[in-house]
A and B are shown apart, each in its own frame.
Chain A
Amino acid sequence: MTERPSRRLALLVMAALLASFGRPGPAFAQTAAAQDRVILFVDREGDPWYQRLNAHDGVMRISHLTSLPGAELAAKDGRAAGRALGATFKVVRRTLKADEPVEQALRAAADQGVEAAILDVPAADLLTASASAPPSMALFNIRDQDEQLRKDTCRGTLFHVIPSRSMLTDGLAQFLVRRNWKKILVLEGPEPDDKAFSQSMAASARKFGARIVDTRPFAMTNDPRKREETNLGLLTGSGDYDVVFVSDMVGEFGRMTPYRTILPRPVVGTEGLRPLAWHAAAERNGAPQLNRRFEREAGRPMTQEDWAAWAAVRVVIDADMRGARDATPAPLPKRLLRQDTTLELYKALPGSFRSWDHQLRQGIFLSTHNAVIDLAPVEGFLHETNTLDTLGMAPPQSPCGR
């Protein structure tokens, strides 16, 4: 490792910067009259998402860490923008009690002039929030990939920053078709999310001309009577396939699949080559700068949920900057749907929200644990209006697009 000599200097510079931001110096006269623009970050006590899962063998511990640092980084990035607008962007965390209804918290915030809330909460809360939030308030989903959620909430003000499941599998299918690895063997886990993911992959394969040769359920057990579902040799020993698609959100079965298949074939899905919204090893389109900034703030690599939280705040700041050019700015949810939006997402193509499912248009990284192999939409997959719309739900699939 090379310890850069500039670290100390950088720290000094940062300290000086922080000091200069702390007090409204004459250089930033506008800061004195600044108004706070609060972006609420809502999470919930006892959220199962953050419960640590002890996997079957006790070796793996799957846990999520809060994405708050992503949102905070974007607010920090937005300081200079705030200076230009005469405002200060602030992320305020609001942790709901285990039984506290989400709608009251949102209404209280809206009464105080808050226009944007990031919802890091379970799916039921997302639905409630979408149904009851004031129409002037934009809500952001940063972790739920469910397709049905997007259909059910498309008339509200809930915006999805994290890609939908079909965007992820579409990206992966494009990659496989491009490589001509069109015969896919699916190994499917027992969880509802595992089944949803493999079904989404089957739909994506149909969409882009790949083929599921077989779908085989696996089980996590030592029961000898279930060896057809536990033994990877038996699971991968028959039939011909180009690639093994593993759908295992828990990850414990999945992590043992590469190199243990009978035929020498790559593993993709939740293991091996994974479709993700973000990756800490992305090396193009300015991504290293964002990753470095995040790691410096949070002390860990940026996950896709961190990125989504960052992007949500970024979206709000961008909409405010655009709105500042309008004579009478429309409410935030309306401005988010402007189709001439060009959001910088650090994934090459400019982002914007789809009108029919409120989904953020974005590229999908196809990545291993330490490298981004490709970025979907993969070269050669075209669309009549925007290549990003080759990924995910088409308008007729959503009740708002018909």
Chain B
Amino acid sequence: MGAMLQRGGGLRALWLVLLGVAACPSAVSAATGLVYVSHERSDNIVMLNKEDEVVGQIKTCARPRGMTRTPDKKSLIVACGNDDTIAVYDLASRTLIKRFRDVPDPETFDLHPNGRDLYISNEDDSECSVLNLETGEITAHYATGPEPEGVLATPDGKRVFVASEAGNLVHVIDVPSGKVVKDIVVGTRPRRFALSPDGKELWVSCEIAGIVDVIDTATLQSKGQISFLPKGMRREQVTPVDLVMTRDGKTAYVALGRANHVAVVDVASRAVKDYILVGRRPWGMRFSTDEKTLYVANGLSDDLSIVDLASGKVRKTVPVGMVPYGIIVDD
């Protein structure tokens, strides 16, 4: 179906409507109320409902990892690394509606607030490319360090941050001028980002260093580091990947990878308040919209830990597909 749509030039208009490009924000539809989990090995997206039950799956292209919703929340953009494809699925009908091919080994990305430019990290090519979702053209390439990973576009749309895993760098792309304006040296193997709601601090997880590096977005320099050590774990088992911050900017959660815990951090004091035991090698994490629940993808135990944030305990562990990676909550 995707191929058919791609060929039919007349259907581009339909695609634009589906995307609902920021022009008509009133078109935001009712959410599906589901949680979507991508899987590196089983090539599917598993869906869960509010009752923490698996309610179905979407077969996808090969090795789906990074995911995001379009601004109208009607469709899901998925990076399929092994197919060199960015695929778009309609959430209501759960069908493939568009495919952008020949995007080399995409892993993660972020959608610019303009709803049109997708900033993609191309792991094998040491670059960040920009895909125009309206035309399907790659409109820009930015040279990064080796193995670019996490991408974050600031809400004001002025900057895009890209982490280079093997370069121990965070690249700062200035969007208006289209240039890399700074390469910030951070801890070993930077992976993902969280931006504080006031936009003043950029948190970067550094997997091998086992820390979160805190970058001052005014000076573009590292201004502090947070380290972790859950009880009974060794320093080298602490391999942070995904991290999320609450809307009030008070609390951050950091998935600690091989240390099998999620750290709870007080943002203002940067003190670790708690460690929540989850499954094996947690990476991807997302809040429910009410921020009462945290969903954690455990890559090596093929399950999802669902954490009740009020009690700080895992409410339920649900088996999903093989090597769960990313999570999107559409509620």
Q: Is the CB of B185 within 8 A of A286?
A: no
| B102–A344 touching, CB < 8 Å | no
B201 at the interface (CB under 8 A from A): no
Inter-subunit contact B188/A350 (CB<8 Å): yes
Is B184 in contact with A84, judged by CB distance below 8 angstroms? yes
A321 to B145, CA, bound (A): 13
Enumerate chain B residues within 8 angstroms of A325, measured Cβ to Cβ.
185
Asked whether any CB of chain A lies closer than 8 Å to the CB of B303, the reply is no
| Contact A10–B125 (Cβ < 8 Å) | yes
Most buried by B among A26, A78, A388: A78
- Chain A nearest CB, measured from B253 CB (Å): 23
> Inside 8 A of A26's CB, which chain B residues have their CB?
179
A286 to B208, CA, bound (A): 12
Inter-chain contact B168/A20, CB cutoff 8 Å: no
Distance in Å: Cβ of A34 to nearest Cβ of chain B: 13
**Shortest beta-carbon distance from B264 to chain A in Å:** 24
B183 and A84: CB pair below 8 A?
yes
B 168-180 to A, binary, CB cutoff 8 A, 1 in contact else 0: 1101000000011
B167 interfacial contact with A, CB 8 Å: yes
Which chain B positions have C-beta within 8 A of A21? Answer: 143
User: With contacts A80-B171, A289-B147 known, is A387 near B236, CB below 8 A?
Assistant: yes
Is B136 engaged at the interface, CB distance under 8 Å to the other chain?
A: no
| Chain A residue nearest in CB terms to B181 | A27
From known contacts A4-B84, A13-B125, A78-B167, infer whether A349 and B143 are also in contact, taking CB-CB under 8 Å. Answer: no
Residues 172-200 of B at the A interface (beta carbon under 8 Å) = 179-180, 183-185, 187-189
Taking a contact as CB atoms under 8 Å apart, the answer to whether B123 and A289 are in contact is yes
In the complex, how many angstroms separate the beta carbon of B42 from the nearest chain A beta carbon?
A: 17
Confirm or deny: A394 has a beta carbon within 8 angstroms of a beta carbon on chain B.
Answer: no
Q: B179 touches which one: A27, A293, A387 (CB < 8 A)?
A: A27
Contacts A286-B147, A342-B209; A80 near B141 (Cβ below 8 A): no
A252 interfacial contact with B, CB 8 Å: no
Number of interface residues of B (CB under 8 A): 40
- Assess A81 versus B145: contact at CB under 8 Å? Given A27-B180, A321-B185, A342-B209: yes
Contact of B145 among A16, A77, A350, A388 (CB under 8 A): A77
Is B166 within 8 A of A77, CB to CB?
yes
B292 at the interface (CB under 8 A from A): no
A343 at the interface (CB under 8 A from B): yes
A292 at the binding interface (Cβ < 8 Å): yes
A107 in the interface (beta carbon within 8 A)? no
Give the chain A neighbours of B43 by CB distance below 8 A: none
Q: Is the CB of A81 within 8 A of B168?
A: yes
Question: Given known contacts A321-B185, A324-B185, A343-B188, is B169 in contact with A14 (CB within 8 Å)?
Answer: no
Contact among A13, A350, A388 for B104, CB-based, below 8 A = A13
* Closest beta carbon of chain B to A285's beta carbon, Å: 9
Best-buried of A14, A292, A342 by chain B (most CB within 10 Å):
A342
Contact of A321 among B101, B129, B168, B189 (CB under 8 A): B168
Contacts of A388 in B (CB 8 A): 236
What CA separation (Å) do A349 and B209 show in the bound complex? 10
* CB-defined contacts of B117 to chain A, threshold 8 Å: none
Give CA–CA (A78, B183) in the complex, Å. 12
Cβ contacts A26-67/B at 8 Å (1 or 0 each)? 111000000000000000000000000000000000000000
Query: B residues 228-248 with Cβ under 8 Å of A?
Result: 234, 236
Contact pick for B141, options A17, A324, A344, CB 8 Å: A17
CA A235 – CA B293 in complex, angstroms? 64
Q: How far is the CA of A79 from the CA of B171 in the complex (A)?
A: 13
Nearest CB on B from A363, distance (A): 10
Contact of A80 with B169 in the complex, beta carbons under 8 Å: yes
B231 to chain A, nearest CB (A): 16
Residues of chain A with a CB closer than 8 A to B38's CB: none
Counting chain B CB atoms within 10 Å of each CB, which of A27, A80, A85, A325 scores highest?
A: A80
- Shortest beta-carbon distance, B142 to chain A, in Å? 8
Q: How big is chain A's contact interface, by range?
A: 35 or more
Q: Are A5 and B124 in contact (CB under 8 A)?
A: no
B208 close to A342 (CB less than 8 A):
yes
B144 touches A286 (CB 8 A): no
Contact of A6 with B by CB under 8 A: yes
> What is the bound-complex CA distance between A321 and B186, given in angstroms?
9
> A residues within 8 A CB of B298?
none
Q: With an 8 A cutoff between CB atoms, is A370 at the interface? A: no
B260 CB within 8 Å of chain A: no
Q: Are A289 and B141 closer than 8 Å at their CB atoms?
A: no
Q: Shortest distance in angstroms between B105's beta carbon and chain A's nearest beta carbon? A: 8
**Contact across chains for A20 and B143 when beta carbons are under 8 A apart:** yes
Q: Is B164 an interface residue (CB 8 A)?
A: yes
The distance in angstroms between the C-alpha atoms of A134 and B254, with both chains bound, is: 45
Question: Cβ of A343: which chain B residues have Cβ within 8 Å of it?
Answer: 188, 208
Q: Smallest distance from the beta carbon of B187 to chain A beta carbons, Å?
A: 7
Nearest CB to that of B145 among chain A residues?
A: A80
> Is A148 an interface residue when CB atoms closer than 8 A count as contact?
no
Asked whether any CB of chain A lies closer than 8 Å to the CB of B127, the reply is: yes
- Complex partner residue of B166 from A6, A10, A344, A387, CB under 8 angstroms: A344
Contact A6 B104 (CB under 8 A): yes
Q: Which chain B residue lies CB-closest to A388?
A: B236
The complex places the Cα of A190 from the Cα of B185 at a distance, in Å, of 51
B141 contacts A81, CB within 8 Å? no
Task: Tell me if A83 is interfacial: C-beta within 8 Å of chain B.
Answer: yes
> Chain B contacts of A289 at CB under 8 A?
123-124, 146-147, 166
- Nearest opposing residue in chain B for A76, CB measure: B146
Interface centre among B84, B124, B143, B258 (most CB of A within 10 A): B143
B104 to A9, Cβ gap below 8 A?
Answer: yes
A sample of 11 inter-chain contacts (CB < 8 A) reads: A5-B102, A13-B122, A17-B125, A17-B126, A78-B167, A81-B168, A293-B124, A342-B187, A342-B208, A343-B208, A344-B208
A residues within 8 Å of B by Cβ? Answer: 4-6, 9-10, 13-14, 16-17, 20-21, 26-28, 77-81, 83-85, 286, 289-290, 292-293, 318, 321, 324-325, 342-344, 348-350, 386-388
| 15 other A-B residue contacts (CB within 8 Å) besides A10-B124, A27-B180, A344-B168 | A6-B102, A6-B105, A26-B179, A27-B179, A28-B180, A79-B145, A80-B143, A84-B185, A289-B146, A289-B166, A293-B146, A318-B168, A342-B208, A350-B208, A388-B236
Which 7 pairs across A and B sit closest by C-beta, in order of nearness? A80-B145, A84-B183, A6-B84, A77-B146, A342-B188, A27-B179, A6-B104
